[in-house]
Amino acid sequence: MYELYIANKNYSSWSLRPWVLMREHEIPFVEHLLRFGDGAQWNEYRKISPSGKVPCLIDGSTAVWDSLAIAEYLAERHAGIWPADAAARAFARCAAAEMHSGFSALRNRCAMSCGMRVRLHEVPRELAADISRLETLWTDGLSRFGGPFLAGGTFTAVDAFFAPVAFRIQTYGIAQGPAAAAYATRVLKLRSMQEWYAAGLAERFRDEPHEKEILQMGTVIQDLRAPPLT
Ligand SMILES: N[C@@H](CCC(=O)N[C@@H](CS)C(=O)NCC(=O)O)C(=O)O
């Protein structure tokens, strides 16, 4: 049985990628959730994960400690992680890699916090450029490969890589064109995403650095999470 190490569902966008991919592909795994800010848990975890970051997939004696590497590891063992069609697969790999190494303004200025609704103080040029690129990329994939997912008819790794962005769109009310907006809604409605979201809302522990980061970027309009532990 695979074991997947992740962090708080409310905040951990990198953790969501392999988690939603495995859920959507019905690949069984045991989940281990580390709380940000719990030093003792993370110290233990550093004995397991070479980078000390989440996510990390454990398969017997093999540790796979990066979300893109996990997608590739799973693709070697399970059908359908990447699209079957070569052109769709090339697109999916490029788009996932672009998300993995790019979109830094979107990542830094719109940190994932599933249960919050936030009005950004400003949308600087780099963020506007990332939002515009996102819409172009999604619309291109949806129209070229026929949807309803980014590289065709099934949920593949590229959709998993953009799943955290669907939560960011919801949190920050990021406007998108009709095809991209409909795609974000479709992803948010997936059973696996609903499961993640419900668990994120139920979390009562807060991580101060994440909370502060969000307050620097915007004004909280709504906090739908369960009350914090005192
Ligand atoms: N490139 C890595 C990045 C993972 C990453 O930055 N994870 C963050 C959490 S969302 C983390 O573990 N932070 C804890 C730390 O830096 O100590 C991946 O794709 O898995």
Res. 101 pLDDT band, cuts 50 70 90:
very high
Q: What is the pTM of this model?
A: 0.97
Residue 202 CA to residue 199 CA, distance in Å, equals 5
| pLDDT 10s digits, 148-178 | 999 999 999 999 999 999 999 999 999 999 9
Give the position, in ligand 1's atom list, of the atom nearest the Cα of 11.
Answer: 10
Residue 70 CA to residue 79 CA, distance in Å, equals 14
| pLDDT 10s digits, 211-225 | 999 999 999 999 999
Mean pLDDT for the stretch of residues 32-53: 96
Res. 230 pLDDT band, cuts 50 70 90:
confident
β partners of residue 149? 152
Q: 85 C-alpha to center of ligand 1: Å?
A: 31
Residue 53 CA to residue 55 CA, distance in Å, equals 6
Nearest to 116 by CA among 203, 179, 24: 203
Residue 135 CA to residue 173 CA, distance in Å, equals 14
Residue 102 CA to residue 106 CA, distance in Å, equals 9
pLDDT score of 68: 98
Q: 207 C-alpha to center of ligand 1: Å?
A: 15
Residue 217 CA to residue 123 CA, distance in Å, equals 9
User: Is residue 46 classed exposed, middle or buried when 0-12, 13-18 and 19+ CB atoms within 10 A define those classes?
Assistant: exposed
Cβ(57) – ligand 1 distance below 6 Å: no
Residue 71 CA to residue 64 CA, distance in Å, equals 10
Q: What does DSSP assign to residue 84?
A: S
Q: Tell me: pLDDT of 229 over 90.
A: no
